[in-house]
Amino acid sequence: MKLTTKLMAATALVAAPAVQAAELEVTHWWTSGGEAAAVAELAEAWEAAGNTWIDGAIAGSGGTARPIIISRIIGGDPMAATQLNHGRQAEELIEAGLLTDLTEVAEANNWAEIINPPSLLEACTFEGRVYCAPLNIHSAQWLWLSRDAYETAGVDVPNDWNEFVAAAPALEEAGIVPLAMGQQGWQQNIAFGDITVAIAGVDNMLAVLRDKDADVAAGPEYTAVFEAVATARELARDSNVQDWNLATNMVITGQAGGQLMGDWAQGEFQVAGQVAGEDYECLPGLGLNQVLDTGGDAFYFPVIDDEETRAAQLEMAEMLVSPEVQVAFNLAKGSLPVRGDVDLSAANDCMQKGLAILASGDGILPSGDMALSQDSTIQVEDLMAEFWSSDMSAADAQERYVDIISSAD
Amino acid sequence: MSDHVSDPSAPAKRPVQLFRNLSAKIASIPMILTALVVFVGGTAWTVVHSFTSSRMLPKLEFVGFDQYERLWSTRRWMISIENLAIYGVCSLILTLLIGFTLAALLDRKIRFENTFRTIFLYPFALSFVVTGLAWQWILNPDFGLQSVVRDWGWESFAFDPLNNSEIVIFGILIAGIWQGSGLIMCIMLAGLRGIDEDIWKAARVDGIGTVKTYVRVIIPMMRPVFITALVLIASGIIKLYDLVVAQTNGGPGISSEVPAKYVIEYMFRAQNLGQGFAASTMMLVSVIVILIPWAYLEFGGRKRG
Amino acid sequence: MVDVAMTGPRGPKPKKAFSSRNIMLYGILILISVYYLLPLYVMIVTSLKGMPEIRLGNVFSPPLEITTAAWTKAWSQACTGINCDGLSRGFWNSVQILVPSLILSISVASVNGYALSHWKFKGSETFFTILIIGAFIPYQTMLYPIVILLREIGLMGDLGGLVLVHTVFGMPILTLLFRNYFTSIPEELFKAARVDGAGFWGIYFRIMLPMALPIFVVAMILQVTGIWNDFLFGVIYTKPDTYPMTVQLNNIVNSVQGVKEYNVNMAATLLTGLVPLVIYFASGKLFVRGIAAGAVKG
């Protein structure tokens, strides 16, 4: 397909009939109900253009899927397209020349203008070239609350984290766990990140995560953060579930007052037939700081030495960002679209809150994924896992956190 | 068989030496290649890269012992080693003990021997992932063993190893022994069947008790059996990974982490290959330190007839 | 000496059929059997329950209402990404991976064991020692070197590559077993064949192979278990169309997002484990016989 044709067909790409039918193998780790439905939207759009989508789903992100994806890429027998969280994960693959340059598609479709927030495209960009197609936005800074639990305890549903902490004794008296927490490092790390945004504020958080400023991490704002996390640990004492969705289920059933978790928790509420604003409440940025990070998923296209495949890869990249696919995919997945110019009126209350924050332009954080390396993230997760399951003091935890930040790269 | 075994210590006097046992040598090429290219080569590759700053992809940017310094100052690694030590010692002793006891019980001319043996052995057919999941369920405090005993009326009964960081490794041990002891039982049973009946007769004539006969006479006679069992158990212990992932995923906190999990997590989740390689090199070094002297005595140092 | 296991139990003879000692013996055996059977029982019972019952009851209670819905779902409906045809898709793929891997790995290991027992040559024991040490290396740490190796010999992404990997990782334990077994074959047999002028392969095919059935059974059982349960290599060296059954199992069991359907998980687990389980239940006696022959002679 010629570039000029592409320019002309830019807005209605899926209908472009000029392209030869292509067969692309796509690897991803979206295997749950809602996720699979979202992938089905992608596959449908792709096949509507006369192509074939060969689905290579592998459940279990990170630890399970990544060695498989990377082995196949460095083994010289890659899939045609693969999901990876965008950010620093793919830098080395790009440096090694193993990923397809998508710059021509990005320029032809004016991604620089339409993708909002721009940090998403930045995360895909390496030395001025674009290497991935951002697909959606997930944010982690949400406090999910059970109306039922607060009604049972006879107190008002909190409007921010401070009220949440203040209302905890009433919940405990009613036999309700104030804070549901799955006992896994990554979940506890999300809670830590959420509390950091709410209490230390965006500037301090960026100083630590992006600039690796250990002094800020050792400073009074972070002391307050660690003390708040210690409080949260007390509130979650009686929560002994492991999986995040089981923790969400405690909120759904009113066994727990709230949960700190990313927006994917909404899928659970939806499956349980709950309605945002009626059965459950959501507080982005914990009600204190209206900010969200903009992590999310992106597709990368390993280099395959075949001109037709390359053309098909570019075509798929273009399709992923197209308005139709963005709407269909994100409504199914419960995530936010990567472009602000699409109509999402079908979205529920909580999604609308998220969209409003994105549209306002302030209060957008880089995702931890983009700022800290995966290596440092794991170290923080380990620290959190240990902190939450022991009696480690807030001061000790802060000290070890400072160590991790000062040696981070 | 010494007549056709070329003495390893004899120097190759004639060029013909190379062509002696030629077919055997040709037939052994796959083994030699595996040993040299995959095991030695792969290990060397790993060791070399453990001195680099490799992240997501292997790269030869050397950083000396940095990865090792970091490894030994990481709490998670220390906890992993401690867990492996506890698990290893307990698993070794208990698996041998249970395996031998079961074999001895089955060897007493009992009825339904086949049935019992199959029951003890079948867990070995199941993967560690399955084992971990099944035991995670049984040990679940809310609807597993603990709640059942409480329903029977023993209200204060508490058995929740998977959520207690002090004893979580024993929760994993229960599942590990369940999975592996059957095979050891089989090996022991086979060993017992190889013992001459006259020995039992002699013991009876001398008035030596059953237990005493086992300890004093039978077990020493079964040394090769114990060695095979030991290799199997020990190699399983070092590789302990899937079971932990399925059962606790290292939790609560990081209290049930094990070295193999550390290696794999750092290689693939943290994308710090250098650190993962350093950890796996440490594992390998400890294996070699234990194994080489033993392997030398067992396979290399003496000839058998 | 080879068929030591075929003779009966050698332990001390129990005295009377219903002596208190016997009752204790069977009591202990039955008690231990409960420990071994419990997980299987839990898996079967759970797989036959509906989700509401699972949420309410304890894991040991028998199902109030038996339903095979979970089994049907696991076999033919559970989703792997967008393909919702359950484990059935992977079953034949697994068979196609299993058969060549089984044949090659056992052939190679049996020849190794034979060479190591009767045809030792300079250095053969060293290679063997390296192999045994190799048994202690976690597979995952060898992943990248192997990927690079396969890329260099052009077998990456090929069924041949997967077969090779299974052969390599099955080699240490299998070679140990075959070596021990062939060592126990009487020297006289071997010498007589040499006098008759039989060579390396002649003796292997005419004398050793026919005597080695029990140990082949053991090797087969061990390899079926290992290869069938393998996930990591199976997924790296195949394409989505030929993913083994364990990939689907992983996707069903490890889908962290969404509601966990424990009954489907358990049914899927049992279905995937069925092939090795059946082989174990069917060949228990042969297995002990082979083990007796292969493991005992150290």
Return the domain boundaries, chain A. Answer: 3-137+295-356, 142-293+372-406
Per-residue pLDDT tens over the stretch C142-164: 888 998 899 998 888 788 899 99
* Interface contact B105-C25, CB threshold 8 A: yes
Tokens 């959606």 map to which residue? A136
C154 touches chain B (CB under 8 A): no
For an interface test with C, the pick among B130, B143, B198, B296 (most C C-beta atoms closer than 10 Å) comes out as: B130
Nearest by CB: C141 against B193, B263, B299: B263
Per-residue pLDDT tens over the stretch B51-96: 999 888 888 999 999 999 999 998 899 999 999 999 999 999 999 9
A243 touches chain C (CB under 8 A): yes
ipTM: 0.81
CATH 3.30.70.260 at C90-245+272-295, yes or no: no
Per-residue pLDDT 10s for chain A (409 aa) are: 444 444 444 444 444 444 567 899 999 988 776 778 889 999 999 999 899 999 988 887 666 788 888 888 988 889 999 988 655 668 888 988 999 999 999 999 999 999 988 888 888 888 999 999 999 888 889 999 999 999 999 999 999 999 999 999 999 999 999 999 988 888 999 999 999 989 998 889 888 988 889 999 999 999 999 999 999 999 999 888 877 878 888 999 999 999 999 888 887 787 788 888 899 999 998 988 888 887 788 999 999 989 999 999 999 999 999 999 999 998 888 788 998 888 877 788 888 888 888 888 777 776 655 577 778 888 899 899 989 988 899 999 999 999 999 888 7
d(CA A73, CA A83): 13
SS (HEC) of chain C: CCCHHHCCCCCCCCCCCCCHHHHHHHHHHHHHHHHHHHHHHHHHHHHCCCHHHHHHCCCCCCCCCCCCHHHHHHHHHCCECCECCCCHHHHHHHHHHHHHHHHHHHHHHHHHHHHHHHCCCCCHHHHHHHHHHHCCCCHHHHHHHHHHHHHHCCCCCCHHHHHHHHHHHHHHHHHHHHHHHHHCCCHHHHHHHHHCCCCHHHHHHHHHHHHCHHHHHHHHHHHHHHHHHCCHHHHHCCCHHHCCHHHHHHHHHCCCCCCCCHHHHHHHHHHHHHHHHHHHHHHHHHHHHHHHHHHCCC
Per-residue pLDDT tens over the stretch C260-280: 678 888 898 889 888 888 888
Task: With a cut of 50, say whether residue C115 has pLDDT above it.
Answer: yes
Tell me the CATH architecture of domain A142-293+372-406. Answer: 3-Layer(aba) Sandwich (3.40)
d(CA C290, CA C156): 35
C143 CA: distance to closest CA in chain A (Å): 8
Q: Give this prediction's pTM.
A: 0.84
Per-residue pLDDT tens over the stretch B209-252: 888 888 888 888 888 788 878 888 988 898 898 899 888 888 78
Measuring CA to CA, how many Å separate A282 from each of A251, A277, A349, A350, C289?
12, 8, 9, 6, 64
Q: In a 10 Å sphere around its CB, with 0-12 CB exposed, 13-18 middle and 19+ buried, how is residue C52 labelled?
A: exposed
Return the domain boundaries, chain B. Answer: 1-49, 69-300
Q: Give the residue from A341, A237, A136, B181 showing the smallest Cα distance to C32.
A: B181
Nearest by CB: C258 against A55, A72, A267: A267
Q: Given this model, what pLDDT does residue B6 score?
A: 42
CB crowding A110-128: b at 16 or more within 10 Å, else e: ebeebbbbbbbbbbbbbee
C101 CA: distance to closest CA in chain A (Å): 20
A270 touches chain C (CB under 8 A): no
Nearest by CB: C127 against B32, B133, B189: B32
Nearest by CB: C81 against A36, A68, A72: A36
Q: Kindly report, as residue ranges, where domains of CATH 1.10.3720.10 are found in chain C.
A: 90-245+272-295
For an interface test with C, the pick among B17, B31, B133, B304 (most C C-beta atoms closer than 10 Å) comes out as: B31
Residue of C nearest to A246 (CA): C259
Residues in chain A closer than 8 A to B139 (CB atoms) = none
* Residue count (chain A): 409
Residues in chain C closer than 8 A to A58 (CB atoms) = 235, 247, 250-251
A253 touches chain C (CB under 8 A): no
Domains A3-137+295-356 and A142-293+372-406 share a fold: yes
| Chain C 2-41, residues with CB within 8 Å of chain B CB atoms | 4-5, 7-14, 25-26, 28-29, 32-33, 35-40
* Interface contact B57-A93, CB threshold 8 A: yes
Do the bridges between strand A129-130 and strand A177-180 make them parallel or antiparallel, or are there none, so unpaired? unpaired
* Interface contact A184-B253, CB threshold 8 A: no
d(CA A269, CA C259): 11
Q: In a 10 Å sphere around its CB, with 0-12 CB exposed, 13-18 middle and 19+ buried, how is residue A345 labelled?
A: exposed
- C278/C12: higher pLDDT: C278
* A3-137+295-356 CATH, one of 3.40.50.300, 1.10.287.70, 3.90.1150.10, 3.40.190.10: 3.40.190.10
Residues in chain C closer than 8 A to A68 (CB atoms) = 232, 235-236
Q: Given this model, what pLDDT does residue A393 score?
A: 94
Q: In a 10 Å sphere around its CB, with 0-12 CB exposed, 13-18 middle and 19+ buried, how is residue A340 labelled?
A: middle
For an interface test with B, the pick among A72, A126, A240 (most B C-beta atoms closer than 10 Å) comes out as: A240
Nearest by CB: B130 against C133, C168, C273: C273
Residues in chain C closer than 8 A to A305 (CB atoms) = none
Sign of CA dihedral C112, C113, C114, C117: positive
A53 CA: distance to closest CA in chain C (Å): 10
B305 touches chain C (CB under 8 A): yes
Sign of CA dihedral B163, B167, B169, B172: negative
| Chain C 226-245, residues with CB within 8 Å of chain B CB atoms | 229, 231
* Interface contact A373-B268, CB threshold 8 A: no
d(CA A229, CA A208): 17
* Interface contact A63-B268, CB threshold 8 A: yes
CATH 1.10.3720.10 at B69-300, yes or no: yes
* Interface contact C26-B38, CB threshold 8 A: no
For an interface test with B, the pick among C24, C30, C36 (most B C-beta atoms closer than 10 Å) comes out as: C36
Residues in chain A closer than 8 A to C140 (CB atoms) = 67
d(CA C147, CA A78): 12
CB atoms inside a 10 Å sphere around CB C16: 8
d(CA C79, CA A58): 11
Q: Given this model, what pLDDT does residue A81 score?
A: 95
Residues in chain A closer than 8 A to C259 (CB atoms) = 33, 245, 268, 271
Residues in chain C closer than 8 A to A72 (CB atoms) = 157, 236
B244 touches chain C (CB under 8 A): no
pLDDT band at residue C18 under the 50/70/90 scheme: low
* Interface contact C269-B130, CB threshold 8 A: yes
C141 touches chain A (CB under 8 A): no
* DSSP label at residue A302: B
* Interface contact A60-C256, CB threshold 8 A: yes
Q: Given this model, what pLDDT does residue C8 score?
A: 59
Measuring CA to CA, how many Å separate A24 from each of A21, A82, A304, A311, C178?
10, 10, 11, 11, 45
| Chain B 104-143, residues with CB within 8 Å of chain C CB atoms | 104-110, 113-114, 116-127, 129-131, 133-135, 137-138, 140, 143
Q: Given this model, what pLDDT does residue C33 score?
A: 93
* DSSP label at residue A90: G
* Interface contact B267-A240, CB threshold 8 A: no
Residues in chain B closer than 8 A to C194 (CB atoms) = 4
Q: How many CB pairs under 8 A join A and B?
A: 75
CB atoms inside a 10 Å sphere around CB A12: 11
Full strand arrangement of the beta sheet holding A142-146: A177-180, A256-260, A142-146, A280-284
d(CA C155, CA C233): 13
Residue B181 CA neighbour count, 13 Å, CB half: 26
pLDDT band at residue C16 under the 50/70/90 scheme: low
d(CA A309, CA A252): 46
